[in-house]
Chain A
Amino acid sequence: MKYDNPELIEALASEYVLGTMVGAARHRFEALQRERSDIRKAVWRWESRLGALCAATQPLQPPRKSWRAIENRIWPQAKGGVWHSLGFWRTWSALTSALALAVIFMVAPVTQRSGPDHIGLIGEASAPLWLISANLQTGEVSARAVNAEAADVDKVFELWMLPVSGNPISMGLLPVSGESTQRSLPAGLLALLKQSKGLAVSIEPAGGSPTGVPTGPVVHTTNILAL
């Protein structure tokens, strides 16, 4: 398809923004947006035109907990418990791959009430970059930067779930420099995670993938292991 016809670009941009462009066509058009400023601008114009259609719905106040959750994700606060204790993480960092399984079995009894029941280790076992822990009953997922440092300037690490079929699904940006993040997965995502093929990490522009799928190199993959 030739993309030098302004009317065609307008038509494609309108279908992209409306959401009726799906699958491979949508991915191709997202790639074109990264390459062509005229296509990006056509999309922006349609976002503006169609965005006004949101007035077709009556405003709906989100629950207070939504704002608190946003605050917690942007400015994570230190919380108590074994997963946040300095001693635990010092111990973890010092362990080698040979001891990793032993650690998992030591931790499991302590956290059996509401702690993680699955774990994903990203990086070398002897020097993990991140530890992803998840409770697949409650949907609580936390990511802890063990040895991970910031990517290049204006770049971030983004975590992806690899569903059995379809595109990777973002699980948010990964923390760096000893920080941790926590989130609660909705039921739909949780069901996908339970059946997923694993996790992947890609390098993305600041703020995360602009398209909803990995746009930068995938630098790590890992499996999710049951504790």
Chain B
Amino acid sequence: MADQQKELEVLLASTALGDRNAFQTLYSNTSPRVYAVLMSMLSDKATAQDVLQDTYVKVWSRASEYHSERGEVLSWIIAIARYRALDLLRAANRRQSFEQQAMAPQALSLSATNDFSDLLQECLDGLAQLQRRSILAAFINGFTHEELASLEKTPVGTVKSRIRRGLARLRECLEQ
């Protein structure tokens, strides 16, 4: 993981200096992760590909703004992509077709297969099942509190406090 981060940092630094080959390699190494998240959130290939483009155009133009305080390079790129996707979801009120979305049951059982680091897996395992499921569904699918409450047939207030407590617990565990 550390080697991969180091390699991505070098590629990003070269990208900031205008190295197109480094940028293309950075894209090749990170875009499958970014695209997977965008597809999970947007459920539409054309929109996900459009946001993927927006994301990497920003990565190219803002590569020099990255520094180690921003965390891992991949997380930085994922954040750019997710904020753009969230804007689109909220603006277009995507959930108009929410009720009939077949993806919903899948969304709530995402943690079945994953490639988490040992520490993250341990910390996620330390959460209550519903906390883990809600946090993952909000992150991976971009669900709002209201949408999660509707899916889980639970009051919105319950979902809010569950997520807030889960995130606080996740932070405590990851910082130990």
Contacts and interface: CB of A to CB of B under 8 A. Distances in A.
Contacts of B113: 58
B79 interface: yes
B86 A166 contact: no
A74 B57 contact: yes
Contact of A187 (B46, B65, B90): B46
B44 A54 contact: no
B79 A47 contact: yes
Interface stretch (A9-17, A110-118, A121-129, A217-225): A9-17
A166 B138 CA distance: 21
B44 A208 contact: no
Nearest to B145: A20
Contact of A54 (B50, B65, B78, B90): B78
A65 B90 CA distance: 27
Interface string A45-69: 1011111111111111111011101
Contact of A49 (B74, B110, B170): B170
A137 interface: no
Contact of B72 (A48, A206, A207): A48
A156 to B, nearest CB: 8
A56 B140 contact: yes
Given A10-B171, A70-B56, A60 B139 contact: no
A44 B71 contact: yes
A15 B44 CA distance: 25
Nearest to A10: B171
16 contacts: A20-B144, A49-B71, A49-B171, A51-B74, A54-B140, A56-B136, A66-B31, A70-B53, A74-B60, A166-B91, A167-B87, A169-B87, A169-B91, A172-B54, A184-B50, A212-B86
Given A53-B140, A208-B58, 19 more contacts: A15-B164, A18-B135, A19-B139, A20-B145, A45-B71, A48-B71, A48-B72, A54-B74, A56-B136, A57-B40, A57-B110, A58-B36, A70-B27, A167-B91, A170-B87, A173-B57, A186-B46, A188-B94, A207-B61
Interface of B: 20, 24, 27, 31-37, 39-40, 44, 46-47, 49-50, 52-54, 56-58, 60-62, 65, 69-72, 74-76, 78-79, 82-84, 86-88, 90-92, 94, 110-111, 113-117, 120, 135-136, 138-140, 142-145, 160, 163-164, 167-168, 170-171, 174
Interface of A: 10-11, 14-15, 17-20, 22-23, 41, 44-45, 47-63, 65-67, 69-70, 73-75, 163, 166-167, 169-170, 172-173, 183-189, 191-192, 206-208, 211-213
